[in-house]
Structure 1
């Protein structure tokens, strides 16, 4: 059985890019996205325009994964044409490359560390830390992890978190965040003026809303699922964080394609230089990768992920408010939190 560095080394042969495949996936996905967006405007029937709008949202997710792999230098490394395409797409999709790469690289290096897991990811606190928080601190923590925050990721995580917040914190370093906001405002105004409210809804709002909501949930569920493990400074290892704190999300072939195989997230965290199209092969050929902790897009599994709130060091698991109420005095938990397990 391979483990530790031996397992990481075993994945290196899959981290060899095929430029032809990379360009093929990139250009085909980009073309389909442009066709779908055109369909939201020019399709002869409203039903076809709605279908085109939904497909646009799904294709935004797929191209985002391609953009994500490019930022990891897994595909099209040092290619100037690809750099232009990915930079423009990142700004268009409200994911400025400057803030995305910095925060996401930190996430990979510190995945599942309790003391720094919230940079580039959703915050995690222990049960005792949560109970010692002020009401205001609890509210802030719960709002960030709330299902509605994830559902409305278009506004909460991308317009505000990725663009506005990064630019306000450091305007010089994140000028592309301002560019993303201005471009998006321009697209919104033009779509409303030239296409009308329905045209704006189908060509701008729905594709962005679907793409960002789905992207936000995938990012959440890949590291917040039943069985996930978090550690402090002691005992943390890179390979352990990949296999114990990153999920394999089971999907049907269509959704696997739309999400660019990001469901093989444990393998991606083990070696982020593996191109997205090589992840399934790595899992098929390395038995140790087939024992991953799993989740899915079924409603039961979605709820199982969303209800998790804090890390309990005693039981070594993420728990929700029901478990907290059973093991802690009710008075230490805010009554508003106890009213709904979905908070």
Structure 2
């Protein structure tokens, strides 16, 4: 795609880069109200059967995801026209989802500005090594990378580590506004949790909130993973990198059944979101349908997305993600680099 066509593609979604107050308010009601009702239903069902409680837990977890999508839009300033309104709602939904508003807002902005750029990895993304980098790594780094990319670690322990521990601390080099916001949100989360424990008892609270926190965390990590980790994704070094190509070719269209599409706030239209973060979640599908070139984005079904679990390394030669098994013979050969490469920043990130 030529540069003029790339610019034209970006301009083509501009008509959808605006929020509608009535639609945003309606989304707050059809997200936060069911979230509260279902959470109470989970608590109420404890006296009947914990299996019934788990049914409520699953439903509630999806509405936590919807609350996170509202939080996500607030971080981009796309849910309300007012910056103050976005900040307030971002803090509220951040408390509900255990995500610090300013910290995530800043890291996520970097993610959008550097997504698929091999020379600017390390903030707001997953840890990705190229085949060459992995081959040149020490055995300790290889072991760490294999552990990190193991599905049982990434989706089993990852949500607990990220949402419960990592987000409670400030990033290195964070500015005062971000640091203060993280402290504020930690206090608010503790206050809300303490109030709930006092109101219904800590045992009941843990039995309800514990699985909701975990399941919604797993869903959140999975959605973030599959949106960029598909076989024919897009990664380039700085001199060849293109923002538009990173958005359209490096982000997937996760085609979900309509119910799950609604429950996940249309975030499956991730290629549209990366092309223009100012498009609110409720206009992502409309923008996708209205712009034919966006239909060429990589479409992934639920079945196809499960195959992405085997993709561990980026193959710069083949321009695709590959499994450890697929490059087994190449990895046995001595690396021509003679040591760890300096391409990008292959350090771990959330």
Greater shift in the superposed pair: 80-89 or 130-139: 80-89
Q: 1:167 offset after TM fit, Å?
A: 6.1
Long gaps (5+) in structure 2: 336-350
Pair 1:95-2:107 in alignment: no
Pair 1:142-2:146 in alignment: yes
Pair 1:319-2:331 in alignment: no
CA 167–241 in structure 1, closer or farther in 2 if over 3 Å, else same: closer
Greater shift in the superposed pair: 109-118 or 39-48: 39-48
Q: Which residue of 2 aligns with 1:328?
A: 331
- How many aligned residue pairs are there? 329
Q: Which residue of 2 aligns with 1:22?
A: 24
Pair 1:253-2:258 in alignment: yes
Aligned partners of 1:88 and 1:25: how far apart in 2?
15
Pair 1:61-2:65 in alignment: yes
Q: 1:180 offset after TM fit, Å?
A: 4.0
Long gaps (5+) in structure 1: 333-343
Structure 2 residue corresponding to 1:269, chosen from 274, 287, 291? 274
Contact kept in structure 2, 1:122 and 1:145, CA below 8 Å = no
Contact kept in structure 1, 2:75 and 2:87, CA below 8 Å = no
Q: Give the alignment's Cα RMSD to 1 decimal.
A: 2.5
Structure 1 segments, 4+ long, off by >6 Å, are: none
The 5 Å alignment of 1:235-246 reads 235-246=240-251
Q: Which residue of 2 aligns with 1:51?
A: 55
Q: 1:183 offset after TM fit, Å?
A: 4.7
Aligned partners of 2:149 and 2:233: how far apart in 1?
16
Q: Which residue of 2 aligns with 1:8?
A: 10
Superposed CA deviations along residues 49-101 of structure 1, whole A, max 9, x for unmatched, are 32222211110001100110111111213264553232122133221011101
Structure 2 residue corresponding to 1:224, chosen from 226, 229, 233? 229
Q: Which residue of 2 aligns with 1:159?
A: 164
Q: Which residue of 2 aligns with 1:176?
A: 181
2:82 counterpart SS class:
coil
Contact kept in structure 1, 2:107 and 2:124, CA below 8 Å = yes
Aligned partners of 1:231 and 1:168: how far apart in 2?
27
CA 328–84 in structure 1, closer or farther in 2 if over 3 Å, else same: closer
TM-score by length of 1: 0.87
Superposed CA deviations along residues 259-290 of structure 1, whole A, max 9, x for unmatched, are 00000000100111111111111111211111
Q: 1:118 offset after TM fit, Å?
A: 2.7
Contact kept in structure 2, 1:188 and 1:204, CA below 8 Å = no
1:318 counterpart SS class:
strand
Pair 1:36-2:38 in alignment: yes
Aligned partners of 2:87 and 2:193: how far apart in 1?
25
Contact kept in structure 2, 1:124 and 1:311, CA below 8 Å = yes
Q: 1:110 offset after TM fit, Å?
A: 0.5
Aligned partners of 1:45 and 1:266: how far apart in 2?
44
2:321 counterpart SS class:
strand
CA 140–191 in structure 1, closer or farther in 2 if over 3 Å, else same: farther
Q: 1:301 offset after TM fit, Å?
A: 2.7
